[in-house]
Structure 1
């Protein structure tokens, strides 16, 4: 667990999230593991009653907010994202979605005018200061019985492993020249993933086992309904219910 300061960004320092925002959505188009995560979220939403209030915490460029807004058009959705570059990309992407509002703040400063039925947090908790306290904040934002859909990067980001994996998969689909062009366009992703790895190594960003994140979630006031390893074993997916 990291207790480092955020300098007002809402994230523990190291990765340049605004720089990351310029290339981040290449993940949704070309990373098969990221696309699999989004499909899993779509399947999850299809299986539950439509939530009235949804918060997407650390929502980045708005990919999960976009899915929720599309599949739950009657829901009121708030995207909470502290980084201005990520937030601007999200607002452009979601400009046609009238059921989305925004808070450009860190989770600890988020306003909660009404408790949520669903809170989404995908690949953001590990980069927040004091993730155990942030889990408690998430519980505070949810009504009793509300659902937490949590995906978190727990294991160190092996940049070389991901580079080999992605180049192989993208080359199969787009050929050698296409793969080289995509990698050039996404060079900022590799740079920021290296910064993430270094922050994990020095303890700035939280790393955890599946058991450790399960214990943290339970201690924060959640019952775990489902838990599994995703993202080639680097991340944990947990569906949880807020307890009284």
Structure 2
């Protein structure tokens, strides 16, 4: 369970650092945009777009370029992120809203609902996808990117190995859970496709991205610098365990004298093909 208050504070205080350190998130933004723009035929129309987890506005900028006449609502839970993003834009067609999309009452319908690298922070993902579907116009699209279970696999394996070596009952590393592509597709099929098979088309894509750091501490600092450090309600750690984990990581997962970090990137797209009865 994610502690949303901690999440807000972490991202707000690191808004100024985010664009410098969020290399993989930027790559995901461009891949997500490519997936969307290949499908949309109305890129010059005045469509309504909801950008969830807009952060510093990097993905919002890409949306503006691709859909210059769109009306965009950009939402983020962190006040610091919203404040930083607002400074980038002068267009009256972009409305910034500081809110938790899982809790917010949104009384509008959208042609396109998008989210880059945000869905992993949701506590009620299934209910939120149902909610977002209700906010889609007929023939609208929901498209998002998120992280899969192989993300930080080196860290997780090192943590488990450290626990085994020290004879600690570690359990999983106390961070948010990353769902697999199959699990995400299953949620969409169960709650959308299975209820109306002819009304939805669902597609997915998986990619792995890699980063390399001089030390594990450099890697952990980079995660902290974008505000993505542990926001889990259960954040207890053992210093001896962490020290051993770092030692194992730097021994077992080094390539060319640098430690390797895996990001498992998942892209999912739901096209809503319902038509209004005559």
State the TM-score, normalizing by the size of structure 2: 0.61
Is 1:207–2:207 an aligned residue pair?
no
- In 2: Cα distance, 1:74 partner to 1:22 partner: 28
Residues 35/121 of structure 1: CA separation in 2 closer, same or farther (3 Å cut) = closer
Say which of 152, 155, 158 aligns to 2:149. 155
Secondary structure of 2:56 counterpart: coil
Deviation at 1:225, TM superposition (A): 3.6
Aligned counterparts, 1:1-244, within 5 A: 2=1, 6-7=4-5, 16-27=10-21, 31=23, 33-47=24-38, 48=40, 49-50=42-43, 52-93=47-88, 95-155=89-149, 157-158=151-152, 201-202=173-174, 205-221=176-192, 223-232=200-209, 234-242=264-272, 244=274
Secondary structure of 2:134 counterpart: helix
- In 1: Cα distance, 2:92 partner to 2:154 partner: 41
In 2, are the aligned partners of 1:218 and 1:224 still within 8 Å (CA)? no
RMSD, aligned CA: 2.7
Gaps of 5+ in 1: 162-199
Alignment deviations for residues 90-135 of structure 1 (CA, whole Å, 9 cap, x no partner): 1112x22331001111103334343101001111111122111111
State the TM-score, normalizing by the size of structure 1: 0.69
Deviation at 1:220, TM superposition (A): 3.3
- In 2: Cα distance, 1:154 partner to 1:219 partner: 19
- In 1: Cα distance, 2:191 partner to 2:110 partner: 16
Secondary structure of 1:220 counterpart: helix
Alignment deviations for residues 70-98 of structure 1 (CA, whole Å, 9 cap, x no partner): 221211100011111111111112x2233
Deviation at 1:155, TM superposition (A): 1.9
- In 2: Cα distance, 1:224 partner to 1:21 partner: 35
In 1, are the aligned partners of 2:25 and 2:116 still within 8 Å (CA)? no
- In 1: Cα distance, 2:35 partner to 2:178 partner: 25
Gaps of 5+ in 2: 156-171, 194-199, 210-262
In 1, are the aligned partners of 2:15 and 2:81 still within 8 Å (CA)? yes
Residues 227/159 of structure 1: CA separation in 2 closer, same or farther (3 Å cut) = closer
- In 2: Cα distance, 1:231 partner to 1:92 partner: 33
Answer 1 or 2: which has greater helix percent. 1
In 1, are the aligned partners of 2:36 and 2:143 still within 8 Å (CA)? no
Counting matched residue pairs gives 195
Residues 212/85 of structure 1: CA separation in 2 closer, same or farther (3 Å cut) = same
Residues 159/60 of structure 1: CA separation in 2 closer, same or farther (3 Å cut) = farther
Secondary structure of 1:137 counterpart: helix
- In 1: Cα distance, 2:27 partner to 2:13 partner: 24
- In 2: Cα distance, 1:88 partner to 1:159 partner: 34
